[in-house]
Amino acid sequence: MDANFLARTAARAENERLEAELIELSGHLNAGEHRFLVLLAEFDRRQGWCDGATHSCAHWLQWKLGYALGTAREKVRVARALEQLPLISAAMARGVLSYCKVRALTRVAEHATESYLLDVALHGTGHHVEKLVRGYRRAQQAEELSREAQQQASRGVEFYHDDDGSLVLKARLPAEVGALVLKAFEVAREVQRREDVPAGTSASADVRPDTPIARRADALAMMAESFLAQSPAALKGGDRHQIVVHVDAETLEHRTAGRCELEDGPSVSAETSRRLACDCSLIRITEDAEGEPLNVGRKTRSIPPAIRRALNSRDKGCRFPGCTHSRYVDGHHIHHWANGGETSLGNLVLLCRVHHRWVHEGGGRIDILDNGDLRFVRSDGRILADGSPEMLSVQSDWTRVPALNRDRGLEIDHKTAASGWTGESMDYGWAVQALLQRHHHRAQDVPAGTHELH
């Protein structure tokens, strides 16, 4: 027999063995990934990540497992979405659906369309699923009817201060203006994502965990600050864009009761005024017993420009352990100047707004060690290590994945994860129409006047 023929036969048999092993292992990994997502959803629902120093479940994944923050957020989103999609969840648990397909399906799947979408995913590739999902979303958007005239007539913005001093805004905007505002939100959030606070770094155990609503509020504050810093000259008259706080010296130094309020606004806490005073313009006013001004001093900076430049050059961003913020940072007096602390590089550190608030309102503390290093201490006395924590060093054995799946009663072989696509073309237009019909049929069961919250 020809030696070349034998060699080709042996090579073909080895390729087939490799192919079967790859497909089988892919099925095991799919099932393992599903188990991971189930545990992640439970962990997030129980807020197991919320130890007083972790910003969100996504940040915990970044901090503990080394994920990119965007990838971590997507993992959490998919994990929580699967809880409402039992058919897709069960298919992934059996190892027949890959994570890339499930990630796409969970963007649009609902009870009415889940079965149809799952059928497409089982008989198609990831490309088919992604393309169908994009087409379905575009079709849904095109069905929205324009009511521009009514939108223009009902536009408006209302605001008031709540009992706790918070500013409450309510806005109704035409669709195109709303899109512009949401785009600004998106840009602001993108800046926050690039420089987001890693896991292990939140405000305080007593502060409500980070939520999408809270992140929008942070984005709105960033938009306002950016506009005031870069607005046209006509809007920059004098100190028009500054926030003015009136605070008694005694209150600032000893945190005692006294005047501590925003100009033309509500009162703020003494600790908040101390935070704002860390890095601000100062005007000292001497008053008589009746509160009438006797002398008004010159405006000065709590941190002179030269020292601020040196501080920026040294720290290059927030010094809180693991934080990557390099913009919108404050100079913080470790020993406050109101209590006699020096305005010098040895007593200053850059902190982002979240961690500057963590130190003041959150009860955190920064200690200067003998060698000049900084030690960050939680309100409960626990010390945060400087820099990211060590990554998990557990040595993994890939053979444990199939073993664990078998222990859970899963039968996965070389056919389980194989795509059901045999090369036929897909009619995306017909598929989108079928999804819309199912969606509309489901929508008829939703009571009028109810809205889905985002």
Q: Other C-beta atoms within 10 Å of 86: how many?
A: 11
What type of residue sits at position 52?
G
Q: Would you give per-residue pLDDT tens digits along the chain (454 residues)?
A: 677 878 888 888 899 889 988 988 898 899 999 999 999 999 999 998 886 666 789 888 887 888 888 899 999 999 999 999 999 999 999 999 999 999 999 999 999 999 999 999 999 999 999 999 999 988 876 665 444 556 667 788 988 888 888 889 999 887 667 777 887 888 887 777 665 555 444 444 444 456 778 888 888 888 888 777 765 543 433 444 466 778 888 777 777 767 777 776 777 778 888 888 888 888 777 666 666 776 677 777 789 989 999 999 999 888 887 676 787 789 999 999 888 899 999 999 999 888 888 888 888 899 998 888 899 888 888 887 543 334 344 445 667 778 878 887 888 887 787 777 777 788 888 888 888 888 888 766 655 555 443 4
Tell me the torsion sign for CA atoms 211, 216, 221, 222: positive
Q: List b or e across 160-172, with b for residues whose CB sees 16 or more CB atoms inside 10 angstroms.
A: eeeeeeeeeeeee
Tokens of 344: 């010098």
Nearest alpha carbon to residue 431 among 144, 145, 134: 134
Phi and psi (nearest 5°) for 279?
-145, 85
Contact 333, 340 (CB under 8 A): no
HSE-up of residue 17 (Cα within 13 Å, Cβ side): 6
> Domain coordinates of the chain in residue numbers?
3-144+406-443, 245-384
Please give the model's pTM, rounded to 2 decimal places. 0.55
